Copies of this chain bind each other. A is one copy, B any other.
Amino acid sequence: MACLCVGKCFNSVEWREMEMEMELQNLLSDLQSLTNLSLPDPSLHAPLRKIQSRVDHIANLAKAEPVRRSKVKDMSAEVVDSNPYSRLMALQRMGIVENYERIREFSVAIVGIGGVGSVAAEMLTRCGIGRLLLYDYDKVELANMNRLFFRPDQVGMTKTDAAVQTLSDINPDVVLESYTLNITTVDGFETYMSSLKNKSFCPNKQGSGVDLVLSCVDNYEARMAVNQACNELSQTWLESGVSEDAVSGHIQLLIPGETACFACAPPLVVASGVDERTLKREGVCAASLPTTMGVVAGLLVQNTLKFLLGFGQVSPYLGYNSLKDFFPTMQMKPNPQCSNVACLKRQEEYILAKPARDAAAKAEMEAEAPSTEEGPLHQDNEWNISVVDDCELDGPDTRSSDVLPEGLTHELPTADEFKNALTSEAPTNDNDDLEDLRRQLEAINSA
């Protein structure tokens, strides 16, 4: 297992094991000294040898690794209790997935190994994903124990180290790369970018070195960093989030140029220009539940599997309102006035590539159902119907600065109008106003 750990910390069990190993070594050398001292007395030789061999045995017992499952070279569909992949390979026999074993070729990057990211990592590990890249800078705390995955004996370890410990025990076939860093810092972002570009796992892969990025972070700044990297690399990603009151969440598919990016429609609270961190006041923490986070992680990884293995439909956006068991869906086109320059570049490329996409789609359709006739399907066009493209209608030339694409509305006045309103009406650091904004934001998120 290739494991790039930036730094390494040990938990209490590991410290105890190291101390025991040292003590056993000392014991053996003490016994050797005693043997030398007792050479003149032959009656002591036999009991000393017996003690020595017992200490050797104890040292072996202490050294023994806990039983781990061995690596599996090829995934097999054989139905035996000892096959960790039988229930997954059965997806082929059931007609759900065409080639399940392809999962071993894929690399998925998970940013944020918290309540959602850690569970997503475990699900992908148990599914036998080829390679996982894990990013987090935080440490495990007892306050995290109300979510799945981390254990109390891991308190104090970095989340990345604890995750690698647990995941490599669960499935040694998965290649784990652990990055203990903050992607919102300059250095962290640089390392993050180059890790995504690294193609050594699958050199012939098109695009970046990973197949999908999962954003499982808990703040806007980190989401914007994921967004920036993915826009720059033209990297498809899935965003996820859980509300501060723990009872709703969402996942969203972002394909640079094709769908809205995270900067295309910023959340209300962020558009207000208030630093999000001032919302996290002293002595106040967000609520969280293992249920909501487990459901969001499940929906996230289910859509990851659908995306990678090509079955079912990947949801562009899926919300989860747990109070009413309501699951809203929607679709968001990119914003031609997006503030993110890389997003605008990807939008332009997407429009330019339309003829090539159409030709490819046509060729694929023809290959699947070859027509026996050479001529066009409809010889005459008595109603004079012609096909007009969506993209041509809302192309760059028809865009005015106040026009948003279909389906996007301004939840707020424009930034300038908002700035004027704020200066003339209310101070931005008023707590009641912030609570109000938060409630509005949640209403929108859970709508």
Closest chain B CB from A253 CB (angstroms) = 11
Stretch binding the partner chain, chosen from A26-34, A207-215, A226-234, A269-277: A26-34
Q: Please tell me which one of the listed residues B50, B61, B143 contacts residue A30 in the complex, with CB atoms under 8 A apart.
A: B50
Closest chain B CB from A435 CB (angstroms) = 11
The answer to whether B58 touches A27, judged by C-beta atoms less than 8 angstroms apart, is yes
| A295 (CB) vs chain B CBs: closest residue | B298
The answer to whether B302 touches A298, judged by C-beta atoms less than 8 angstroms apart, is no
| A152 (CB) vs chain B CBs: closest residue | B69
Closest chain B CB from A300 CB (angstroms) = 9
List residues of chain B with CB within 8 A of the CB of A327: 325, 327
List residues of chain B with CB within 8 A of the CB of A80: 143
Closest chain B CB from A336 CB (angstroms) = 28
| A51 (CB) vs chain B CBs: closest residue | B30
Report if A339 contacts B (CB, 8 A): no
The complex places the Cα of A26 from the Cα of B54 at a distance, in Å, of 8
List residues of chain B with CB within 8 A of the CB of A68: 152-153
List residues of chain B with CB within 8 A of the CB of A146: 84-85, 87-88, 126-128
The complex places the Cα of A62 from the Cα of B59 at a distance, in Å, of 11
List residues of chain B with CB within 8 A of the CB of A355: none
| A302 (CB) vs chain B CBs: closest residue | B291
The answer to whether B305 touches A325, judged by C-beta atoms less than 8 angstroms apart, is no
| A166 (CB) vs chain B CBs: closest residue | B151
Supposing A34-B44, A88-B146 touch, asked if A62 and B285 sit within 8 A by C-beta, the answer is: no
Q: Please tell me which one of the listed residues B34, B54, B143, B289 contacts residue A27 in the complex, with CB atoms under 8 A apart.
A: B54
List residues of chain B with CB within 8 A of the CB of A93: 284, 287
The answer to whether A54 touches B23, judged by C-beta atoms less than 8 angstroms apart, is yes
Chain A 302-313 per-residue mask, 1 if CB under 8 angstroms from chain B, else 0: 110110000111
Report if A318 contacts B (CB, 8 A): yes
Q: Please tell me which one of the listed residues B20, B127, B290 contacts residue A61 in the complex, with CB atoms under 8 A apart.
A: B20
Q: Please tell me which one of the listed residues B66, B145, B306, B313 contacts residue A12 in the complex, with CB atoms under 8 A apart.
A: B66
List residues of chain B with CB within 8 A of the CB of A79: 283-285
In this complex, how many residues of chain A approach chain B with their Cβ under 8 Å: the count is 105
The complex places the Cα of A96 from the Cα of B85 at a distance, in Å, of 41
Chain A 49-92 per-residue mask, 1 if CB under 8 angstroms from chain B, else 0: 01100110110011010111100000000011111111110110
List residues of chain B with CB within 8 A of the CB of A61: 16, 19-20, 23
The answer to whether B83 touches A142, judged by C-beta atoms less than 8 angstroms apart, is yes
The complex places the Cα of A23 from the Cα of B54 at a distance, in Å, of 7
The answer to whether A299 touches B290, judged by C-beta atoms less than 8 angstroms apart, is no
The answer to whether A329 touches B325, judged by C-beta atoms less than 8 angstroms apart, is yes
Report if A356 contacts B (CB, 8 A): no
| A17 (CB) vs chain B CBs: closest residue | B61
List residues of chain B with CB within 8 A of the CB of A12: 66-67
Report if A182 contacts B (CB, 8 A): no
The answer to whether B298 touches A96, judged by C-beta atoms less than 8 angstroms apart, is no
The 6 closest A-B pairs by CB, nearest first: A312-B323, A295-B298, A90-B287, A294-B298, A81-B141, A291-B302
Kindly list 14 other residue pairs between chains A and B, CB separation below 8 angstroms, not including A23-B54, A123-B148, A294-B295.
Answer: A24-B58, A30-B51, A34-B47, A38-B41, A84-B142, A87-B285, A87-B286, A91-B246, A94-B245, A122-B290, A126-B290, A127-B291, A295-B302, A311-B323
